[in-house]
Structure 1
Amino acid sequence: MGEQGVRIGLSAVVIALRDGKACVLTTTGDDGSAALPFGSFDPARDRTFELALRAFVTAQTGFRLGFVEQLYTFGDLGRASPRATPGPEHHREVSVGYLALTDAADDPSLAEARWTPVLDFFPWEDRREGAAACLAALLDGLRAWADGDARRIARIDALFAAAPGQRWNEGQVLERYELLYEAGLVAEAARDQDKAPPPHAPGLPMASDHRRILATGLGRLRSKLKYRPVLFDLMPETFTLSGLQAAAEAVAGLSLHKQNFRRGVERTGLVEATGRLSAATGGRPAELFRVAAGDLSTGEALGLPLPALR
């Protein structure tokens, strides 16, 4: 058997806010399903991973990336399409994922690119109006899969807050998706085993393992909200505190306590009043704020509070 080569791919999770929703920049995969912008790294042509990433994201979507950070390297054996390169090489695919945030969510200039609501892929992650409508059926499927196994039941209860005393951890997006995949309850699990998709599989499927990469990106972003001021990378230059709270809720998938959120934001010192009012709220004019002067990239910058309504 010949020696297997390695092909390096680069995937981009680009997140923005549009119409009050956290959205991800997607293209169309070979199978017609949604895909993250993805391209191969050519060591003979590309000087760095990041430069290659920026070039193909622009080529595929017309969008120019701002700040990006590396997420994770996905190289598990048996990753789905893009599968091993056809022919005698049979390259193993390794993908390096990146996360990018932008406040410039204009319509992409290329027809196949679009902004897709992130929670369309993970509807069970939206708890702004209580438990998601699909959660009861998911829990039934997970418990049937557990078949009385104590370890599996403990994982289900912990990840989905399905037992008394358990609290929802909004940052565990990847862990929940991987449990659903293991239980065969998402479309990709059936696809990767060449089986028919399960009936009423929740969420939009994605090409390759892109929903897993997106879950990693969303989980990273949600976790960072608490200790880094990343939410401001999604905000316009000026904003109301209500708009800032709505953005936090859209990303975290939680309903936040209004007064506690505002008090927490004020304590951080991250925002300052502009002295101007916004009439765009449809009611009483609201005060406009902006990011306070200072370097938000330093280790001294804090995240925003997420005082969830329980």
Structure 2
Amino acid sequence: MSDSAAIAIDLSAVVIAMEVASPTVLVIRTADGMSALPAGAFDPVSHATFEQGLRDWVASQTGFELGYSEQLYTFGDLARSHELFETPAARHISIGYLGLTAARHTPAGMAAQWRSWYDFFPWEDYRQGRPALIDMALAPALERWAAAADSAATREARHQRARLAFALNGARWVDARVLERYELLFEAGLVPEAQRNADSAANEALPVTGLEMMVDHRRILATAMDRLRGKLRYRPVVFELLPERFTLSRLQQTVEAIIGLAVHKQNFRRALERTGLVVATGDVDTATGGRPAERFRFCREQWRQQMAPGVQTPLSHGEY
């Protein structure tokens, strides 16, 4: 087999944990100060399964013992950069995984840290209203990119893609379009990763488009965000990010942090009650600084018996 036909399988992990009101992702710092996901090569000799290999890499690079995980997607674009790999001549296929944990650890003596995922995607946080950078920077840059197309049909298609992705000109914001928005900015040459790709547009990356990541790791993170934002509505995965006992306010805060939108408190609790996903524990949280709040737990047995849906997210401001 020639070098050009060689295939190398890599494993990458998006590990998510909550810190107060922000979803954080476990990253490692490269020698040049850039962020990367925990990742490494699959060894068919020492790794009995892909997941075992993934867990070994996460533990060795961050000191974190991975708990809940699920396979996310397989990334194999020809344009994948080989900056982190020892076999640059091979075609690299990366199998991505999503991991969730209720307890963050503090990496000791390792080049690992937790960063808010909004550091990488600052336009995705709508909890306090529409982020100003969308209309101040992203929309004008996308408008220039669309107008620069060679044909009227392409210009119209670009305008429409930008409108739907970033809720421009009256379009509705859809939280589970993280990957679509990132790939649009990439194609327009507005994120620094695009400057490493000779096929991307020749625009200058905007300084407001979030922290750069190695290889295609920001694309992998965007895929994980889409998966989690969509899945929590039909599977109770949000409880993997919570302690065993929690208040309803903590649950709502976690849901809002994930989807990047504010939800209607009363409607949220009514919808939650109908699912039977949580039950009162009989004790209260006195550390809230105000009136003691009742603690609840995830009723896993109820979900297993009736396959209740995930957590519904009635928005506080209606359609965004």
TM-score by length of 1: 0.93
Mapping of residues 5-20 of structure 1, within 5 Å: 5-20=6-21
Shift of 1:295: 6.1
Shift of 1:20: 1.9
Partner of 1:294: 301
Partner of 1:100: 99
Q: CA RMSD in A?
A: 2.0
CA distance in structure 2 between the aligned counterparts of 1:246 and 1:7, rounded to whole angstroms: 41
Shift of 1:301: 2.8
Partner of 1:274: 281
Change (3 A) 1:170 1:63: same
The answer as to whether partners of 2:263 and 2:316 remain within 8 angstroms in 1 is yes
Q: In the alignment, is residue 181 of structure 1 matched against residue 186 of structure 2?
A: yes
Mapping of residues 225-236 of structure 1, within 5 Å: 225-236=232-243
Partner of 2:140: 140
Percent sequence identity over aligned pairs: 50
Secondary structure at the aligned position of 1:73 is classed as strand
Partner of 1:161: 167
Q: Could you tell me which amino acid in structure 2 is paired with residue 52 of structure 1?
A: G
Q: In the alignment, is residue 172 of structure 1 matched against residue 177 of structure 2?
A: yes
The answer as to whether partners of 2:12 and 2:96 remain within 8 angstroms in 1 is yes
Change (3 A) 1:130 1:60: same
CA distance in structure 2 between the aligned counterparts of 1:293 and 1:201, rounded to whole angstroms: 41
Q: Could you tell me which amino acid in structure 2 is paired with residue 185 of structure 1?
A: L
The answer as to whether partners of 1:191 and 1:197 remain within 8 angstroms in 2 is no
CA distance in structure 1 between the aligned counterparts of 2:65 and 2:34, rounded to whole angstroms: 23
CA distance in structure 2 between the aligned counterparts of 1:39 and 1:263, rounded to whole angstroms: 45
Per-residue CA distance 1:157-200 (angstroms, 9 max, x = gap): 11111122x21111111011000100111111113349896242
Q: Could you tell me which amino acid in structure 2 is paired with residue 160 of structure 1?
A: F
TM-score by length of 2: 0.91
CA distance in structure 2 between the aligned counterparts of 1:287 and 1:250, rounded to whole angstroms: 21
Q: Could you tell me which amino acid in structure 2 is paired with residue 181 of structure 1?
A: F
Specify every segment of 5 or more residues in structure 1 that has no aligned partner in the other structure, as ranges.
Answer: none
Shift of 1:29: 2.8
Q: Determine which structure has the larger helix proportion and give its number.
A: 2
Most deviating of 256-265 and 41-50: 41-50
Change (3 A) 1:295 1:65: farther
Q: Could you tell me which amino acid in structure 2 is paired with residue 9 of structure 1?
A: D
CA distance in structure 2 between the aligned counterparts of 1:250 and 1:277, rounded to whole angstroms: 23
Per-residue CA distance 1:196-255 (angstroms, 9 max, x = gap): 962424111101100000000011000001100010000001111111000001111001
Specify every segment of 5 or more residues in structure 2 that has no aligned partner in the other structure, as ranges.
Answer: none
The answer as to whether partners of 1:83 and 1:93 remain within 8 angstroms in 2 is no
Shift of 1:19: 2.2
Shift of 1:290: 0.8
Most deviating of 47-56 and 27-36: 27-36
